[in-house]
């Protein structure tokens, strides 16, 4: 069997290797793997705690401290928490003779597959401290991006709450007063106001609301089940990359992440196939995963990275300029440096994409909420225009 074929099999079966790692881990005599995995479901770790852990571990390893001692030192600094229990388990697993990556695999809910794959690659290259340093920077970038998005969504969220409060006040407090005046005078309400009254009565009817909520719950459960299927995930992933503006932001996010990983791993001596395997595991989108998987297969067939991306399925997700830059990096032998430059450029492009999305959301929300409140206001004002004639009758 040729070397390329062997590498190809290794890439395609990396996920199976990770699963087998969990199955074959000896662990402690009084605690099984199943105990660890079942506990991992209930452990929640803050992003800041994870970033601090990776940063501290990188510094200690770079200073010459062995892994088990570094883990023990970090554990002593932590207060009692679920994350401290996780680190204690990791320390015991490492001391039993297993690798750090296999120990991390025991807690897949805490450490992502990308995290584990990068650590595993660093173990093979012997540059774990460098890999952890870059991984810390990557986690900080991801967390900062999430905070930017959450911060930008604060204003629209407050607007939505105020709109709901204003709509509820008009529907359940102001509207009934007009209804009483018209009912006592035997006058009919304007059509638009009648529609609003009917909707208000519907919301106030317990039986109809119970039936409606029940149907919505069943539909929600059905939708949730469908989204968990392969076809549902493909449909959602397709929308993620095709929706105008938002799709651009999502693609920029994946490209930035992938180029950061490529730069990190190539510069620390990891081969291209293992790098693509990690890039694939870092993508939560079916179409990007297919593209990187096909690219890995093409590399095993003898193609260069730039060529393999270009002829792979869904290659349109990667801009031609990126492929050209990667090709230049391959020809000059500086693929890692070129990947780093691409990640920096796309990081800035991602910031612009986020601002574009946020600037688009605000006017859309103003239009939608303004239309709803405006319609209700008009429906309430129409009776006022002729209320004087109604009262005099």
pLDDT digits (tens, 9 = 90+) for 57-86: 989 988 888 888 888 899 888 887 788 888
Q: Which residue has the higher pLDDT, 254 or 152?
A: 254
Average pLDDT, the chain: 78
Most confident of 26-40, 151-165, 192-206, 288-302: 288-302
- Residue whose entry in the numeric block shows the structure tokens 């986020």: 354
Q: Could you tell me which of 93, 109, 130 has the C-alpha nearest to residue 268? A: 130
CA 242, distance to chain mean position in Å, is: 17
pLDDT at 217: 93
CB atoms within 10 A of CB 9: 12
CB 346 within 8 A of CB 256: yes
Q: Could you tell me which of 201, 320, 303, 307 has the C-alpha nearest to residue 255? A: 320
pLDDT band at residue 261, thresholds of 50, 70 and 90?
confident
Average pLDDT over residues 80-94: 85
Q: Which residue has the higher pLDDT, 105 or 42?
A: 105
Residue 172 reports pLDDT greater than 50: yes
How far apart, in whole angstroms, are the C-alpha atoms of residue 130 and residue 128?
5
pLDDT band at residue 21, thresholds of 50, 70 and 90?
very low
pLDDT band at residue 221, thresholds of 50, 70 and 90?
very high
54, two tokens:
């990776």
Residue 31 reports pLDDT greater than 80: no
Residue 27 reports pLDDT greater than 90: no
Q: Which residue has the higher pLDDT, 86 or 187?
A: 86
pLDDT at 392: 57
Q: Could you tell me which of 269, 278, 263 has the C-alpha nearest to residue 339? A: 263
Q: Which residue has the higher pLDDT, 198 or 225?
A: 225
Most confident of 43-57, 181-195, 368-382: 43-57
pLDDT at 4: 39
Using CA atoms, how far residue 361 sits from 59, 143, 160, 333, in Å, is 41, 21, 12, 43
E strand or H helix at 8: helix 3-12
CATH number of 128-393: 1.20.81.30
Taking the chain, what is the end-to-end CA distance rounded to the nearest angstrom? 99
Residue 390 reports pLDDT greater than 70: no
Proportion of the chain above pLDDT 70, given as a percent: 84
41, two tokens:
């479901």
Task: Kindly report, as residue ranges, where domains of CATH 1.20.81.30 are found in the chain.
Answer: 128-393
pLDDT at 219: 93
Scanning 96-127, the segments in alpha helix (DSSP H) are 100-104, 113-125
Proportion of the chain above pLDDT 90, given as a percent: 4
Residues 277-325: tens digit of each pLDDT: 888 887 888 899 899 989 888 888 888 888 898 888 888 888 888 889 9
Residues 96-137: tens digit of each pLDDT: 888 888 888 888 888 888 788 888 888 877 788 888 887 888
pLDDT band at residue 218, thresholds of 50, 70 and 90?
very high
Evaluated on CA atoms 273, 279, 280, 282, the torsion sign reads positive
The count of C-alpha atoms lying within 13 angstroms of the C-alpha of 113, restricted to the half-sphere facing its C-beta, is 15
Task: Name the region of 117 (left: φ>0; alpha: ψ -120 to 50; beta: rest).
Answer: alpha
pLDDT at 117: 81
pLDDT at 182: 66
Q: What is the DSSP letter of 188?
A: P
CATH number of 15-111: 1.20.81
CB 140 within 8 A of CB 130: no
């Amino acid at each position: 069997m040729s070397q390329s074929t062997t590498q190809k099999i290794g890439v395609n079966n990396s996920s199976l290797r990770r699963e087998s790692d969990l199955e074959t881990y000896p662990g402690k005599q009084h605690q099984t793997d199943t105990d660890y995995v079942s506990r991992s479901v209930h452990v929640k770790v803050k992003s800041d705690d994870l970033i601090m852990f990776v940063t501290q571990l990188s510094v200690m390893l770079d200073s010459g401290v062995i892994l088990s001692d570094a883990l023990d030192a970090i554990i002593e600094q932590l207060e009692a928490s679920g994350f401290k229990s996780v680190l204690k388990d990791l320390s015991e697993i490492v001391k039993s003779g297993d690798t750090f990556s296999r120990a991390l695999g025991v807690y897949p809910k805490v450490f992502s597959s990308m995290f584990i794959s990068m650590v595993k690659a660093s173990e093979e290259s012997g540059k774990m401290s460098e890999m952890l340093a870059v991984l810390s920077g990557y986690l900080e970038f991801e967390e900062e991006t999430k905070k930017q998005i959450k911060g930008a969504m604060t204003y629209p969220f407050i607007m939505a709450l105020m709109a709901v409060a204003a709509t509820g006040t008009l529907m359940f407090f102001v509207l009934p007063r007009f209804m009483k005046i018209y009912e006592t005078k035997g006058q009919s309400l304007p059509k638009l106001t009648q529609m609003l009254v009917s909707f208000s009565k519907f919301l106030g009817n317990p039986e109809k609301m119970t039936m409606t909520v029940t149907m919505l719950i069943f539909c929600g459960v059905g939708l949730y089940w469908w989204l968990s299927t392969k076809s549902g995930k493909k449909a959602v992933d397709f929308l993620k990359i095709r929706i105008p503006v938002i799709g651009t932001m999502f693609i920029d996010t994946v490209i930035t992440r992938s180029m950061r990983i490529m730069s990190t791993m190539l510069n620390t001596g990891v081969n291209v196939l293992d790098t693509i395997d990690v890039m694939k595991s870092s993508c939560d989108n079916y179409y990007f995963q297919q593209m990187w998987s096909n690219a890995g297969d093409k590399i095993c067939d003898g193609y260069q990275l730039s060529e393999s991306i270009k002829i792979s399925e869904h290659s349109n997700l990667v801009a031609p300029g990126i492929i050209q830059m990667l090709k230049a990096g391959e020809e000059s032998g500086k693929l890692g440096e070129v990947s780093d430059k691409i990640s920096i450029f796309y990081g800035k492009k991602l910031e612009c994409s986020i601002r574009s999305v946020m600037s688009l959301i605000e006017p859309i929300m103003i239009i939608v909420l303004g239309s709803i409140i405006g319609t209700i206001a008009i429906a309430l004002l129409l009776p006022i225009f002729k209320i004087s004639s109604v009262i005099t009758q």
